[in-house]
Every structure is written in C-alpha cells, then in structure tokens.
Structure 1
C-alpha cells in the first residue's frame, strides 16, 4: 500500500537577525515527526560583501544528532571534540551530540568578505535513551562524496541508508535514511521499505505531489501508513525525504538539549556549566 498525505504544515517565518529562517517543525499541529524533531530552513538569500555571516557561535548540545544540508554557500564547523571543516554547496555535515558537545557553525572568512548565495537546512534527529550519552561524533562530506543517483528526471542525493542498491555517504547509528532530491517538472521518485517507519518529507524548493495532494514550497507533509510513497515534482523542485524507526520514549526538550526526563535536562545544564562539554574554537578560513 502506498502512503498518502494526511496533513500539510507551513513553515513559520522566524528570522534570526538578518538570517532568513523558516521552521516547519515544531509548529502548530506538529510537535515532531517521530524521530525527526526540528528543522530550520535558512535562506535562500544573498549576502553582500563585508557581511557578518551566520550567527551560530559556540553553543552546546546533548542527546540528539544534527544533520546540516548546505544547499548553497558554505559552512565552517568547529567543535569541542576537535573536529574542524568547511563544507561547501551540496555537502552535508552530521554531528552526533551524544553525551555533550559544544560546536560553532559560522561563515568562513572568504564568504564574509565576498558574500554570495546561502541556503542551509538543519535537521535534528532524536537518539534513543541507550545512545543519548554516546561518544560525540562528527562527519563532514563534500558534494562529490555523496552518491547522486539519477532517476528519470530526478537526482537522489543519498546521505544515509540504502536506495537502488547504493549506500549513503554516512552510516547512521540508528538506521536513519536521509536524502534530498532535485527533480525536474513531472519527474517521480518512489521510496519503499517504509512500513512501521517515521517518514519525513519537506518541500524546500518548488511544489511536489503525493497521491494527488499538493505539498507547496516551504511546507512539511505528514503521511499515513503504507509500504511506499511516490513523490512527483509539479515544477522544478528540491525536497528532503527521510525515514527512521520510531523511538517510543518520552521526549523532554529544553533549549539545546533533548533527553527523556526533566531531571536529565537539569543534569545536562549542570554538566555544561561545569565545563564537561569542553570548548569549541571558531574556525577561520
């Protein structure tokens, strides 16, 4: 049985200074999509020469993972576990905060000097209780390291999981499938193996159609049950598609921490204030 759309949710505009930001989840009528907790869509916008760049200086996380899609522009990452990178357009960074990490996500010096287009999506993925205190991890992959699978008018950029016999660039700790798809008008892509999985679908550029239901640009779709889904672009489109096993545990989120209880949140703040997350230096480049 194929999945259909049960509800469509617009991303709410919530700019951060001069950074254009839309957030489809959490929002009215949708706290989370199972294991998919949060999505910020920054841009698209053009930065002028001599700009201040992205505003995400050092800040902590515990208990979940962040996956950042750099659709346009570039992003400099530094964290307290010693990882540094500059990921450019078409690349992805996947960070497992686990037991605690401090990271900074800023614009490289060249981008601040010269300006240019910028569009970034950041998705938060829940971790089960058994992994919330796992060792922090970071993987940064440039565009040429991510399999790009052609599918009759569409290109599936396979970040994690398996599709059409290919494996994604990054191995998820919890078996999450993640991709983004660029599609020409009328192109269709079918994903299967979805029974019992939480499914995430967000139209970042252009509109898409699922079983006769339109999902406009900047909208999140929630889907019914089924084994597969077919997504058709009604014009030039780019969408994020993922699925994950449900995590049947309480979600207690406060600021930068996602745990299973209020006591664990209090402990996260205490550990951070005690310096147990280390220090992140901002990378230049």
Structure 2
C-alpha cells in the first residue's frame, strides 16, 4: 500500500462574497506534478438577485482548467467561440494551450433565483511539447459523464477522464491523466491499483474517509509518496465525496505568473506580450 507523506489543509481565501478555500498551492505544498492548483468554492447559498460568480474575462496560457460543478452553474464563454451553461454534476475541461480569454460567471437564471453553489477548479499542467497547442473546450452535463457503481452501491465513480474499473472517462485528455469524483455511502470502500510512479491527487470534498489507513476530512489534500501501487479509501461518514486523480509527473521546470504557466521566465514574458498584442483572440460579449 502506498504511504502518505502529508495531509495538507486547504486555506481560506475568499474572493469577494464567494467562499473559497485554496487547497493548492498553500504554505505547505507548492504543486503535485502535474497538478498545479485547486480552488474549492462554497458550499454556500446565494440569495435571489445576486451578482453570481466574479470571474469575468481573463487570459490563460500553458495549462488546462478542469472545473467540477457540484451545485449551482457556470456560464463559460471564451475567445475561441465556445459558450455553454453547465449545471450540477457537470464538468468543464478547457485547454488554454497557446492562449485564450475566457469568463466563468453564473447564468442569468442563477443570478435571478439564487440557490446552493459549490464548485472546484483544478489546474493541470501541460508538458513543454503541448504548451502552445490549439485551445479547446469541452462542457458536459452530469448525464454525459459515465457513472461506475462499486461495493454493492456504496461507491459511485463519476469518470471524467482515464479508465476507472474498466470504464473510460467522458473526456479524452491530451496527456495520460485520470480524473473522477467519487461519492461514498458510509463504509463504502474503493480499492484501486495505481502505478507507484504516478502522482495521486486526492482531495476530500465532503465527509471523512480512511485513506490508505489514515483519516482525512473535508478540505484536506492527501499527498502520497511514490512507494506502492495500492490505493484504498473507506468512508467514515455518509455521503463523503472525493476528488481523485492520477497522472505521470512531467518533471519539467514550472514557472507560473498570474494566469500563465510555462517552463521559463522568457516564455512568461512572451505570454504577456502576446496577450497585450491581442494574440489570444478577440473577446466578444
């Protein structure tokens, strides 16, 4: 069984009236190659006639964003011409690649009526060979994401990418990366074999679980060593939820500045120059 290196607690980092916990990076962990960043927004309830999410148009280059909408919705729009509203249980996978501008706001309906909101956004790196790839976007509603039920119905895997118990995820990523959300009933047990050389990304969204023999609770990120193939999670509470992923680390330099993640300072400077020169596409409302 793979051993646990450290448990990292997400840090409070509110954005305007949006409750936010930053799970990566924090004071105790910078990144888990190739996983770069995780913000956990909510859970909270918005009143009627609210302003919604505050993420207006902004640029990205050099990585991908994977957004998990647990409650509420997101209206995504980008300079590549993509636009969609994704609701509870859905995901958005955006490859920034060589650069684009996007916004992530609430739908007009959500701003009018309000309601519960809980969203996670994960940034995953691209290797140097794909940093300048063509941008792309996939938005999927909950029914479009395969659900794998295990342990007599006590565990449900929502397979976003990769292979989970013989079921392929909904998204075919550019790199070898498996991502899923996992819902547990109490005492539900998930057992997986994950090659020792792969980075495991394991974040507890809700509830408490016993992960490889160690208790982890909501808003904790579990960092593993690279010393075993066996992964096991058992729910200690009903309705526990886990964000789980694994990937081969790139072992390349990571230089991040604001909305850009590249391999060198020179590439970061070029990203800013290209954005200011209008090379990330044209933003139209």
1:168 aligns with 169
Q: Deviations over 1:21-49 (max 9, x none)?
A: 00111001210011000000000000000
Q: Deviations over 1:72-104 (max 9, x none)?
A: 111100000011100000000000000001000
Whether the 8 Å CA contact 1:54–1:106 is kept in 2: the answer is: yes
**Distance in structure 2 (CA, Å) of the matches to 1:185 and 1:178:** 22
Whether the 8 Å CA contact 1:104–1:280 is kept in 2: the answer is: no
Gaps of 5+ in 2: none
2:142 aligns with 143
Whether the 8 Å CA contact 2:2–2:196 is kept in 1: the answer is: no
Residue from 269, 276, 279 that aligns with 1:266? 269
1:64 aligns with 63
Deviation at 1:281, TM superposition (A): 3.6
Deviation at 1:158, TM superposition (A): 0.3
**Distance in structure 1 (CA, Å) of the matches to 2:9 and 2:202:** 12
2:215 aligns with 214
Q: Deviations over 1:146-194 (max 9, x none)?
A: 0111112010000000111110000010010000001011111112133
1:276 aligns with 279
Is 1:249 the counterpart of 2:252? The answer is yes
Deviation at 1:195, TM superposition (A): 2.3
Is 1:36 the counterpart of 2:39? The answer is no
**Distance in structure 1 (CA, Å) of the matches to 2:129 and 2:203:** 29
Deviation at 1:4, TM superposition (A): 2.5
Deviation at 1:6, TM superposition (A): 1.6
After TM superposition, the score normalised by the length of structure 1 is 0.97
* Aligned pairs, number: 281
2:232 aligns with 230
Which consecutive segments of 4 or more residues in structure 1 shift more than 3 A? none
Is 1:112 the counterpart of 2:115? The answer is no
Gaps of 5+ in 1: none
2:100 aligns with 101
Q: Deviations over 1:195-225 (max 9, x none)?
A: 2101100001011112321111100000122
1:129 aligns with 128
Q: Deviations over 1:90-135 (max 9, x none)?
A: 0000000000010000000000000000000000000000000000
Secondary structure of 1:150's aligned partner: strand
Deviation at 1:271, TM superposition (A): 0.3
Q: Aligned-residue CA RMSD in angstroms?
A: 0.9
Whether the 8 Å CA contact 1:4–1:229 is kept in 2: the answer is: no
**Distance in structure 2 (CA, Å) of the matches to 1:214 and 1:154:** 18
Secondary structure of 1:23's aligned partner: strand
Secondary structure of 1:185's aligned partner: coil
Moved more, 193-202 or 86-95: 193-202
Secondary structure of 1:199's aligned partner: strand
Moved more, 131-140 or 192-201: 192-201
Secondary structure of 1:130's aligned partner: helix
Residue 281 to residue 182, structure 1, CA distance change in 2 (3 Å) = farther
Secondary structure of 2:156's aligned partner: strand
